[in-house]
């Protein structure tokens, strides 16, 4: 991920934020979960907040006014596969991609436009590398893709936030990047199955994942936040917490500057 600027004193605090994003109507009405901890072994997730998309945008931009470093991992696709751009005759740049997407009035209109050109749902290079569960054009996730890119990332980059590795100033003290809790679990040798749902078994699975994150991955979390992460029936609270773990530092391929890259 990109480097950051420092404050005049030569030092700054560093915060890691995990976001379970929503592209649905509920995401516009406090349907998004945000967990935050200070970086380092003593950083603790104190609580899990609910916020809407406009509030999330304001919260991220507000970090630009501080001397602190902010890293946001957001569970939403940041790009579209090169194969889809080619099929739709769109220039292979991220800027052209978001201009094209914004020319549609809604995510559903965008998906209809894509499907009038191609019905294939290819996976991005990062999807194959990180074992993400769904392609960015999938029926279950296309709203998230369009909303994150058009309504969140474009205005953030324009405000001076670094959208890694796609847009915005490389020396910004605020960086947003794509994360995927399922990828994180798979990389760690755990299963991404069985923790989303309302059954006792689902709650037990969330408790097991959280226990592993604490014992093996060094996650520190307050008991109130831990209880919320286990109780949350969709696994959204737990997803936000997992994305506060340190992002991957990795060499990325050239395709990532157009398609995006998963840093978890």
Per-residue pLDDT tens digits for 186-244: 988 888 889 999 999 999 999 999 999 999 999 999 999 999 999 998 899 999 999 99
- Cβ proximity of 195 and 206 under 8 Å: yes
Domain ranges of the chain: 1-249
Q: What's the pLDDT score for residue 7?
A: 39
Q: What's the pLDDT score for residue 3?
A: 42
Residue 40's CB: how many other CB atoms inside 10 A?
A: 12
Q: What's the pLDDT score for residue 67?
A: 86
Q: Which residues does 5 contact at the CB level (< 8 Å), separation at least 6?
A: 171, 172, 173
DSSP run (H or E) holding 35: strand 32-38
3-state secondary structure of 17: strand
Distance, CA of 175 to CA of 156 (rounded, Å): 10
Question: In the sheet where 174-178 sits, what is the strand order?
Answer: 48-51, 32-38, 14-20, 69-74, 174-178, 162-163
């Amino acid at each position: 991920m990109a480097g950051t600027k420092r404050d005049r004193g030569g030092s700054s605090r560093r915060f890691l934020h995990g976001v379970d994003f929503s592209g649905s109507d509920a995401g516009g009405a406090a349907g998004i979960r945000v967990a935050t901890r200070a970086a380092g072994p003593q950083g603790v997730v104190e609580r899990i907040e609910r916020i809407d998309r406009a509030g999330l945008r304001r919260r991220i931009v507000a970090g630009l006014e501080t001397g602190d470093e902010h890293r946001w991992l957001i569970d939403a696709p940041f790009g579209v596969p090169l194969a889809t751009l080619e099929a739709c005759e769109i220039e292979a740049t991220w800027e052209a991609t978001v201009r094209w997407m914004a020319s549609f009035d809604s995510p559903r209109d965008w998906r209809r436009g894509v499907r009038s050109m191609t019905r294939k749902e290819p996976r991005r290079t990062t999807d194959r590398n990180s074992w993400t569960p769904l392609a960015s054009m999938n029926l279950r996730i296309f709203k998230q893709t369009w909303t994150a890119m058009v309504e969140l990332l474009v205005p953030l980059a324009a405000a001076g936030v670094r959208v890694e590795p796609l847009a915005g100033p490389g020396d910004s003290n605020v960086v947003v990047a794509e994360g995927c809790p399922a990828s994180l679990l798979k990389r760690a040798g755990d299963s991404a199955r069985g923790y989303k749902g309302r059954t006792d078994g689902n709650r037990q699975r969330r408790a097991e994942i959280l226990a592993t994150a604490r014992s093996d991955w060094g996650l520190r979390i307050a008991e109130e936040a831990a209880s919320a992460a286990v109780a949350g029936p969709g696994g959204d609270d737990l997803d936000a917490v997992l994305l506060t773990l340190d992002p991957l530092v990795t060499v990325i391929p050239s395709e990532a500057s157009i398609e995006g890259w998963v840093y978890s």
